[in-house]
Structure 1
Amino acid sequence: MSIQTIDGKALKQMILHAAARLEAQKDAVNALNVFPVPDGDTGTNMSMTLSSATREVERAGDRTVGEVAAALAQGSLMGARGNSGVILSQLFRGFAKYLDGKTTVDGRELARALQEGVDTAYKAVMKPVEGTILTVAREAAAAAQQAGRKSPDATSVMRAAVEAAEEALAKTPELLPVLKKAGVVDSGGKGLTVIYHGYYEVLSGKASDVATTAVKVEPAAEAPAPGRHDTSPASRVDFAVDEEISDIRFPYDCEFFIRRYRDGGPIPMDNLARELEQWGDSVYVVGSEDLAKVHVHASNPGPVLSLAIQYGDLIDIVIHNMREQHADLLRNAQPAPAGAHGGAAANPSGNPGANSGANPGASAGVNPTGATSAPADSPAEEERPTAVVAVAAGEGMAEIFRSLGVSAVIQGGQTMNPSTQDLLDAIERCPSRQVFVLPNNKNIILAAEQAATLTQKKVYVVPTRSVPQGISAMVAWMPDEEDGERLFSSMKQVIEGVHTGEITYAVRDTTYGDLQIKEGDILGLWNGKIHLTGKEPEGVLVDLLSAMVEEAGGEVITVYYGEGVAADRAEAVGEELRRRFPDHEVEIQFGGQPLYYYVFSLE
């Protein structure tokens, strides 16, 4: 039995089933990554984005499609991870915009909602590329509208959208040569077709009861024990421990959602934010007039909650006493043992993530309660002219950024793209009204830019595509400079002169350009593109650097060795590079990054 008209309950079922379907197929979507590197995470990012949305959808009422769609848009906005997740959130945003205020929709209105999503997503992407998720979404929406002109039946319209999505997906290799050479279709487009299939299965009555169970987003796990590689996509924000916090003015960290009263007026987000400033600092109110997220540091949570409850139901209330959190941090923080960076044994498997001896341990800034962030010290800091948030994978990388003055380090990168919410939380906790964000990965830039639109602070997203670029940007950052625009220009300019090299391994057979790649081959990437292959990481490192030096010259070579590389092995590489390149300064540092044996810069 098919559904001709969609009500709130049906739309909720469609979303939950699609999320379950995508979760089940995320590995297959990941496998479509053009690069055969071990960090293809499009499926994971899209699944986590949609899973975040299901939490809001489950909490929302299902009286109307407008209510459910608004929850879908809000949850995906805050939970968006990676470029694919951000684009997906924009598709949902436009979808919800069209459905706003509607109780039910027929097929024609469903088609128009899909088209509004496409229009919104194209506007959000500065340089839309055809042969991607955008193409698949556009073709599906066009087919849905054509079907809607023939019949208002919602199931028929969604079937047309699914068929067109599959056809468009199959053609993506013809639009993007890099897909054709790799022998794959676009991974983001594939993820979207999985979602649309989920919608159709509910409308057509083909969805199983098990599949319509909501996908849950698990809370961030505690920091991994020393020697264990944590590959979960959950992000963690690390802050250095400050022992002087007893004089903090606003010790209560309050976070909650306001859900608009059914018979009440819209949530006045701007006015609410201004009113909250009388009770504390670090205030932000984001979301929509129907569901808003509130964050504030207060001296007394009572007046904050009393004010907020005037506008709607309060849900997911979390209040931390930051003085107590900080006391726990000081009691539990353990310094890393001497020589921890160099204790790893050589990895005989060839997989840099398989060695268990190179992780120096959890950061002292990890909240022992298991919370995803440890903000205790940040509010106590004196406000600065500017502050910096950086994304980095590996404890060594994080420590380097902290030593350069970064206020908040989000543990993430390849396979661990932080969400919009993770980035926003870090921005809000920085002790400045001007914040620079270093994504250090091309797949995090869009989420950072989205987070920048959700805060009242002035945020500059420096388009760093690698950790070496981020480190160079920090060298150009001047903590006492008050002119954010001038700093932004300087930081962007300096990263242009950084060449990044990465040494990892292939996870499958493929063809990339003129290279025939076999599973297990060692890959040498130059500025994100596979340049050569080999059988041994150090040999590929030397060969890649030789090619880079010959073409780009440079003066300084800095090599960061990963969690699966022993210190003596890395130092031996350093000696070889000094012998090969006597005119260059060569530095070897512990990075602790997963999946990549070596990451290096040539400047």
Structure 2
Amino acid sequence: MLQALDAAAIRRWAAVSVRSLDAQREAIDGINVFPVPDGDTGSNLLGTMRAALESLLRAPVDERSEAGAALTVLAKGALAGARGNSGVIVSQMLRGLAETLRDVVEAGPVDVGKALVRAAELAAEAVAEPRAGTMLTVLTASAAAARKTRSNVLHEVTAAAARAAADALALTPQQLDVLAEAGVVDAGGRGVLVLLESLVTVVNERDEPVVPYSNTVSSPVAAREAGSTEFGYEVMYLLDSTTDSKTGALRDTLSRLGDCVSVVGDGDGLWTVHVHCNDVGAAIEAGVETGRPHRIMVARFADAEGVPSRFRRNRVVVIPARGAGIAHLFRTEGALVLEAGDDDEPDVWDLLNLITSTGAAHVTVLPGDDSLVGIADEAATRAVAGGQDVVVVPCVSPVQALAALAVHDPARRAGDDVVAMAEASAATRRGELVVADADAITWIGPCRAGDLLGFADGEVMRIEQGPTTPDKVVTGAYAVVDRMLSVGGELVTALLGADAPEDLADALEKHLRAAHPAVEFVAYRGGQRDSVLMLGVE
């Protein structure tokens, strides 16, 4: 584990950051909903860090032999190659690190803490109107945590910064309504977390980037990463031969022309300028009056309609499930699963994160439990606000979710597929054997704690007096399945609970072969703890 950051560690950090941003680019692009549900924050961050790394790798040896010098080259490369608002902010983050560590050969824990504070300050100054709930919030929180961690161990400082960034990122939906409605965290903030976790990776001397949850200047089109839809163009250029006072006036001029204004420098005479506006000529003329603009880029947002969608795939099925056995069963059938413990209540935000991170344009959610329907509905509502087509198919039991999943056909039209799954779920009658946990009155009489209750479609139809034994479980299973098949059925599906007798599946199969020879039977080890047996009849 590293005790200080030298020049070699800075180069590795830049390389790991590029690899990690590349791996997560599409995911970050997909959650870029502030203030409109479309963007390329992940692509912009990746392009900016690639430019920074390339600049560092091309620099003469004497310019990258010390940590401070390497950071200076990295920051200048990021500024020159900055893409979009997020790229500009990252360039200033790197500039803050470079300023603080300019004369440092090896940066220790205290040095890194001070540098992160300066990085957050310069990043905030790069934005004309900072907002809470953005990447600036995440960066500020990480810097504060690093500064407060008065440790002589570099890992403890960088890990504290990354943890604070993760915590701040999780809170961004509470600070920006548009994030809450879409059920996502801030895309730029997630990018900041990627950079900080990449730093932790390097300090821990690991080879692979840490995943938190897990373009060029001449580009003629752009997706709108931020700002009002009132403005149709993005203008960016580099600027030199100017002064601090002139660039301050330029910032004011551009703010009158549009929004998303950034005019930031590298501390050594080079500035990058960014604005969303309608009067492209005026934005460039303002630069000419201020200094020498070059590498001018103008992109029209309307042209970006031809750019591929932020969605990476067409359709997926998502299922919140209780218990490892049932979750594994759904996964083997091709669904994406949010697994919760038998006694845990799945979190709406966790389900939202899974839905949005699929990168799918259309998501079908199968709750699989009556207590999960409300959570699924809320998550779907918020995901729809973020631009995804999300439909919840009513399923109040895992056997109904299995029936729906069995008829899922990705080649079918999305609407028709949802109808088919809904019909399969509704046509599946459900049964259950549960051990009563308290005395109660049922439709067929009183029961005591420890009695075995047989349910058919949610109603108690049999009571086996406790204590529950394997023989009573088998007898109860026969009674429930016979009652359910009394009105017909072609297929019986059994999910065996954690407390089910070992021979229960064999006993049920023999009983069905004798009493209902035309009925097919399939059994799975569900492992659920809230019921001894779940049955589905189709």
Under a length normalisation based on structure 2, what TM-score does the superposition of the two structures give? Answer: 0.46
Task: Give the structure with the higher percent helix.
Answer: 2
Higher relative contact order (CA 8 A, sep 6+): 1
